[in-house]
Amino acid sequence: MLFIKYSRILIRKSSQVHSKFNNYVTTKNLLRRLSSRKIEFKYLPEPLYGPKWDEIDMAKKELAELTGGMNMDQLQQTLEPHSHKTNSKQLTLPCQSNEKYLQKAPEEDNSGSLLPTYNLAAYVNKSDTLQQFLKLGVDLSHIERKKGLPEFVLRLSFEDDVKPYLLFLKDQNVPAERLGEFITKNPLIFKVNLDDLQTRVNYLDAKRFSKAQIERILTSNPYWLMFSTRRIDCRLGYFQKEFRLAGADVRVLASKLPKLITYNMGHIQKATFSIREEMGFDKDEIKCLLLAKPRLWILKPDDLVERFAYVHQEMNLSHQFILKVPQVLTSREFRLRERHEFLKKLGRAQYDPKKDLYISPKSLIEGSNYYFVRNIAKSDMETFELFLKTR
């Protein structure tokens, strides 16, 4: 009995080893046939032994360095809207560990009268920084809505804390008329060391981004500079490997929609899953969609699937045809439904370019209702409005 038992164990082990060897040989032969692809955006290789790079841990470390030791809960408490209760007796600064922001202002500034407030307009006459912000076009009301930011802005010296950053942005060719919008969206830029900002710009230059691309990235997405070079490189590397992009494709994608690179990665992965699994696009088609209309990846996946279902099933547009006019997936479903059904009632819902009376699906999402009715549907507004009431 013992002989039979041990024999069975030996047979089972040998079969497992034989199976693993076959898998290894098959995988090795498969890898030999795959064409090699150059990966340009990989800041550091992941360690073979020990912990791998974790973007969440990197973000936490950068958050602590940026905010003087604050954790995520403290930062959320600082930046949350004023709907939560606050302590009106204490002036909270997001940078309390930084001594230069705790220096007392000269007595002529009457800093002792600066009480916690959500209305920066009350301090415009007392603060040269706020006056300069208004000249630049900064929307102070937007800053007021974030807890802690008004107090932080009031303690900035324009000459010492703001002007060097404006000169830095000017050196990166950010238009002067866009500086106000930049500060409005990201006033925390003044907490980042200038050397770190320059390093992040140098990284883009080293990765062969053109001056025009760098300008567009910084102008369109002020939050880009809040990400370290390692995090940006990991993000760009993700897009390159996940969607099989060439280096030039990555640069075009990053400059076309910079917001996508710094967007929530969980959301991007859900959108990719919806486009691949629920909408049925293959890898090559997904790559074409990403480069043609990257905005699809920051839309709500559920809304995106609903729009695709209507376009594909009701309007009978194939996957290949949608690749030619991906704009139809960015329009709200009710707008597509209204205009398609109106064309259908008129007998003009013909989207095949090989047939007569062809109407481009792109024209269904462009222009006002008046333009659509008069130039696309060849009808009048009275008929269209009556259709909307009776549909």
Cα–Cα distance measured from residue 132 to residue 68, given in angstroms and rounded to the nearest whole number: 27
Percentage of the chain beyond pLDDT 70 is: 70
Per-residue confidence at 111, pLDDT binned at 50, 70, 90? very low
Give just the sign of the alpha carbon dihedral 196, 44, 255, 281.
negative
| 3-class secondary structure, 19 | helix
Q: Mean pLDDT for the chain?
A: 80
- 347: alpha, beta or left? (left if phi > 0; alpha if psi -120 to 50): left
3-state percent breakdown (helix, strand, coil) of the chain, nearest 5: 65, 0, 35
pLDDT in tens, 339-390: 999 999 999 999 998 888 899 999 999 989 999 999 999 999 999 999 999 8
Query: In the prediction, which pLDDT does 391 show?
Result: 78
Q: What are the residue boundaries of the structural domains of the chain, listed by start?
A: 118-191
Query: In the prediction, which pLDDT does 50 show?
Result: 43
Cα–Cα distance measured from residue 128 to residue 142, given in angstroms and rounded to the nearest whole number: 19
pLDDT > 60? residue 214? yes
Cα–Cα distance measured from residue 105 to residue 90, given in angstroms and rounded to the nearest whole number: 18
Per-residue confidence at 69, pLDDT binned at 50, 70, 90? low
Burial of 319 (0-12, 13-18, 19+ CB in 10 A): middle
Work out the average pLDDT over 181-185.
Answer: 95
Query: In the prediction, which pLDDT does 81 show?
Result: 46
pLDDT > 80? residue 59? no
Cα–Cα distance measured from residue 157 to residue 282, given in angstroms and rounded to the nearest whole number: 54
Query: Cβ distance 192 to 218 under 8 Å?
Result: no
Per-residue confidence at 5, pLDDT binned at 50, 70, 90? very low
Work out the average pLDDT over 28-55.
Answer: 47
Per-residue confidence at 75, pLDDT binned at 50, 70, 90? low
pLDDT in tens, 124-175: 888 999 999 999 999 999 998 888 888 899 999 999 999 999 999 999 999 9
pLDDT in tens, 79-96: 554 444 434 333 333 333
Cα–Cα distance measured from residue 377 to residue 326, given in angstroms and rounded to the nearest whole number: 21
Work out the average pLDDT over 331-339.
Answer: 93
- Could you give the C-alpha distances from 33 to 30, 36, 353, in angstroms and in order? 5, 9, 40
pLDDT > 60? residue 17? no
Q: Which two tokens stand for residue 328?
A: 């139809």
- Which residues are CB-contacts of 28 (< 8 A; sequence separation ≥ 6)? none
Per-residue confidence at 78, pLDDT binned at 50, 70, 90? low
Work out the average pLDDT over 63-84.
Answer: 54
- Could you give the C-alpha distances from 238 to 42, 241, 243, 244, 269, in angstroms and in order? 9, 5, 8, 10, 11
- Which residues are CB-contacts of 381 (< 8 A; sequence separation ≥ 6)? 369, 370, 373, 374
Per-residue confidence at 21, pLDDT binned at 50, 70, 90? very low
How many other CB atoms are found less than 10 A from the CB of residue 77? 16
- Which residues are CB-contacts of 127 (< 8 A; sequence separation ≥ 6)? 154
- Could you give the C-alpha distances from 212 to 43, 188, 239, 263, in angstroms and in order? 23, 24, 21, 22
- Could you give the C-alpha distances from 32 to 20, 26, 48, 284, in angstroms and in order? 18, 10, 22, 22
How many other CB atoms are found less than 10 A from the CB of residue 200? 19
Percentage of the chain beyond pLDDT 90 is: 62
Query: In the prediction, which pLDDT does 88 show?
Result: 36
For the CA atoms of 171, 177, 182, 183, the dihedral, rounded to the nearest 10 degrees, stands at 100
Q: Which two tokens stand for residue 93?
A: 């600064």
Cα–Cα distance measured from residue 285 to residue 319, given in angstroms and rounded to the nearest whole number: 8
Locus of tokens 């309007």? 315
Which is more confident, 63 or 378?
A: 378
Q: Which two tokens stand for residue 179?
A: 């500086």
Query: In the prediction, which pLDDT does 113 show?
Result: 45
Query: In the prediction, which pLDDT does 66 show?
Result: 56
Nearest to 340 by CA among 387, 285, 301, 290: 387
Nearest to 67 by CA among 54, 77, 53: 77
pLDDT in tens, 184-200: 999 999 999 999 999 99
Per-residue confidence at 42, pLDDT binned at 50, 70, 90? low
Please report how the helices 229-242 and 55-67 are oriented relative to each other, as an axis angle in degrees rounded to 10.
150
pTM of the entire predicted model: 0.70
Greatest mean pLDDT among 12-21, 111-120, 305-314: 305-314
Work out the average pLDDT over 92-112.
Answer: 37
pLDDT > 50? residue 240? yes
Query: In the prediction, which pLDDT does 335 show?
Result: 92
pLDDT > 70? residue 318? yes
Query: In the prediction, which pLDDT does 122 show?
Result: 85
